[in-house]
Amino acid sequence: MTEAGPPILDSVLIVGCGNMAGAMLDGWLAGGAEPARFTVVDPNDSGQRREGVRWLAVAPVDKAFDALLLGVKPQVLATVAPTLAPLVSGRTLLLSILAGVELGVLAEKFPQAGGWVRIMPNLAAALGRSPLALAAQGLGEAECAAVRALLDPLGRPEWFGEAEFDAVTALAGSGPAFVYRFIDALALAGAELGLPRDKAARLALATVEGAAALATASPYDPGELARRVASPGGVTQAGLDVLDEESALNRLVAHTVRLAAERSAAMTEEARSPR
């Protein structure tokens, strides 16, 4: 792209609108974006249609787009890329949420694009509360600004080196599932102490929701907040002693995230391998 000033990504083609791409679309619409700004291509109609959004079974041939967001399964990229190539030109930014598919692969499949961006969001994009890790190739400052402006309504975009993406995927992409497991475990613990299961579940969810909101707003880091909740010899400290013994919680979480990162790296290697 060679336009002066930051380009405005007014027209966005979303190819594949499953859970993650659908969450991003919901976040954009909830943030006030005009539905007509988006065109969705979903041959299986796997997502629920959104009012005002153009929804197609096959890629259109009558319109050029400022951005093309790939939301298909990574293993079908080689199949769909040739059908999408005619829609991509030097004015088009190629955006991808495909796990394991590197920028070099995107550039190989869509060499005519004006730039390539990997995005790692999570489902909180639907609420405008997702971390969004970004890595790019072929973008200048104006294009980077345009991508950030497009993604700002979905949460907190932040640029990373592509070499960091396996760790980012494990932490921010998979992290919500680990948090959900903790919420469930907290609720089960309450139930084991005699609380009704439904009440324990609501209590655990509200506890985590409030704690996360306070951690976001507080000038103190989470470690300090935990210290401030606990009193020496008190109720909270008795529980923290279990989590802190031989760094039990830290070791468990580190192992969890490490294995997720290793799986992300393996998927990246699989995506590199010719088929």
- Using one digit for the tens of pLDDT, what is the confidence trace for 166-195? 999 999 999 999 999 999 999 999 999 999
- Residue 68 and residue 130: Cα distance in Å, rounded? 20
Rg over alpha carbons for the chain, rounded to the nearest Å, is 21
- Residue 100 and residue 109: Cα distance in Å, rounded? 15
- Using one digit for the tens of pLDDT, what is the confidence trace for 36-50? 999 999 877 655 789
Alpha helices in 152-218 (DSSP H): 165-168, 175-192, 197-217
- Residue 58 and residue 75: Cα distance in Å, rounded? 18
Secondary structure E strands in the chain: 12-15, 38-41, 54-56, 67-70, 93-96, 115-120, 130-137, 155-159
The pTM for the full model equals 0.86
For residue 1, the model assigns a pLDDT of 44
Structural domains of the chain sorted by starting position, each given as residue range(s) with its CATH number in brackets: 12-164 (3.40.50.720), 175-266 (1.10.3730.10)
Contacts of 114 (CB under 8 A, 6+ apart): 1, 89, 90, 91, 92, 93, 138, 143
**pLDDT band, residue 274 (cuts 50/70/90):** low
